[in-house]
């Protein structure tokens, strides 16, 4: 495997605060690789540093030790002043909250990154419309966020990240806080969008079923100080129908193997 994203010996502890004991190591000796176009899912116990890890990859936070190579180019991560958040728009980040701007319509939220970069061409508009159409948002372009369902808002925030075409997308439990039915539909939609332009995805989730349904490979993290507890290749052919994945004969054994590793 040629690594597109190469995480090497990452360690993290937060600075000590006055009057508190020294902060513990959150990440320690954490190394893994992600291939170009791979869909990697990550599961791990709460508090194991998954969000911290994504923040370091996105360069919105520093690492205490270690480095990350992106497409062969190494970034030093120790000094906050030398970080490059989002790596020049090459890394997109979808967080748990949808973060839509309430005073902008759905389409204007989706096109927001382009406004910042300075230029919404007709081609970009067309791409945005195509992505919205692919997940059933046609007709809702001019709705405001409060006029959309929770699932629709999540689709919008997903598309807002996809539309500016970053080669890598980080997702931090993007489908939390929705009901099981909507969640499965969002998983379907994500795979549909991913098939339209295969990105490298690092997807963090609490949901082992989701990790299996979406991923090419699932990484299991230990509790803090966090390292890799195990790795599972998900050999389910694509395109996948998420609903079918749960009914596959191999699914229970894989689920159990991962569950046993998540402490």
Rounded to the nearest whole angstrom, what is the least distance from the CB of residue 125 to ligand ATP in the complex?
A: 35
Q: Pairing mode, if any, of strands 3-13 and 217-221?
A: unpaired
What's the token pair of residue 75? 């970034």
**Of residues 84-113, which lie at the interface with Mg ion (CB under 5 A)?**
none
26 binds, among Mg ion, ligand ATP, none (CB under 5 to 8 A by kind): ligand ATP
**Of residues 34-63, which lie at the interface with ligand ATP (CB under 6 A)?**
44, 46-52
Of 5, 7, 10, 26, which lies in the binding site for ligand ATP, with binding defined by CB under 6 A? 26
Radius of gyration, CA atoms only, the chain: 19
What's the token pair of residue 19? 């009057």
2 binds, among Mg ion, ligand ATP, none (CB under 5 to 8 A by kind): none
* Sign of the alpha-carbon dihedral angle for 219, 220, 226, 229: negative
Dist. CA 90–CA 76, nearest whole Å: 17
Number of residues binding to ligand ATP, judged by CB under 6 A: 10
What's the token pair of residue 231? 């790795």
Of 33, 51, 60, 182, which lies in the binding site for Mg ion, with binding defined by CB under 5 A? 51
CB-based burial label for 253 (10 Å; 0-12, 13-18, 19+): exposed
Q: Pick the closer one to ligand ATP by CB: 9 or 45.
A: 45
> Rule CB under 6 A: which residues touch ligand ATP?
14, 26, 44, 46-52
> Rule CB under 5 A: which residues touch Mg ion?
51
């Amino acid at each position: 495997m040629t690594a597109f994203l190469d995480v090497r010996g990452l360690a993290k502890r937060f600075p000590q605060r006055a009057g508190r004991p020294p902060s513990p190591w959150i990440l320690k000796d954490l190394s893994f690789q992600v291939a170009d176009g791979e869909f990697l899912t990550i599961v791990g116990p709460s508090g194991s540093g998954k969000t911290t890890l994504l923040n370091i990859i996105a360069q919105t936070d520093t690492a205490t030790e270690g480095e990350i190579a992106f497409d062969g180019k190494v970034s030093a991560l120790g000094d906050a002043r030398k970080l490059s958040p989002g790596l020049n728009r090459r890394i997109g980040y979808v967080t748990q909250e949808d973060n839509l701007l309430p005073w902008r319509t759905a389409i204007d939220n989706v096109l927001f990154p382009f406004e910042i970069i300075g230029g919404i061409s007709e081609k970009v508009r067309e791409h945005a419309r195509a992505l919205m159409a692919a997940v059933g948002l046609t007709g809702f372009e001019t709705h405001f966020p409060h006029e959309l369902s929770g699932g629709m808002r999540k689709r919008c925030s997903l598309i807002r990240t996809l539309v500016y075409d970053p080669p890598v997308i980080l997702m931090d439990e993007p489908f939390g806080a929705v009901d099981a039915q909507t969640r499965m539909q969002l998983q379907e939609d994500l795979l549909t969008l991913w098939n339209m332009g295969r990105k490298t995805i690092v997807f963090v989730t609490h949901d082992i079923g989701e990790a299996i349904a979406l991923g090419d490979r699932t990484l299991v993290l230990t509790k803090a100080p966090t390292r890799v507890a195990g790795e599972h290749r998900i050999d389910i052919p694509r395109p996948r129908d998420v609903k079918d994945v749960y009914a596959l004969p191999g699914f229970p054994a894989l689920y159990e193997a991962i569950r046993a590793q998540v402490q």
